Amino acid sequence: MLFEAELRGSPVLELLAERTTLGDPPVPEYAAELVRGVTVHSAQIDELLAKYAEGWTLERMPAVDRNVLRIGVFELLWAPDVPDGVAISEAVLLVQDLSTDGSPQFVNGLLAKIAELKPSIPV
């Protein structure tokens, strides 16, 4: 939904509400939680991504990578029930299936850096 909203230029929470209302296919609760969480923390998430993505601006990243990274950062910083390694590996698997050949290494490195700095990041 994050990717779709970005491509359509639509507010992501409106898209979430639309999808939840239609229920076809049903929106899993955890997916809705991720969309809401990324939206609430979007400014800080994007700031972190821009700061630690060496040689890449947010605009230059493939849209899939950018949105998967947003989910990964949200899980690292605001989803205490998700182990850091799981958040990183799930993000890597997503971009491995959906993005470019270089995306898994890029996503892994950037999320690992943020996980390493996690104790010093105010949330």
* H or E segment to which residue 66 belongs: helix 63-78
On the question of pLDDT at 115 being above 90, the answer is yes
Total domains in the fold of the chain: 1
The total of other beta-carbon atoms located within 10 Å of residue 97's CB is: 10
Q: Model pTM greater than 0.85? A: yes
Angle between helices 84-98 and 63-78 (to 10 degrees): 170
Question: Domain limits at 97?
Answer: 2-120
What pLDDT, in 10s, does the model give residues 37-81?
Answer: 999 999 999 999 999 998 899 999 999 999 999 999 999 999 999
CATH label of the domain that carries residue 41: 1.10.940.10
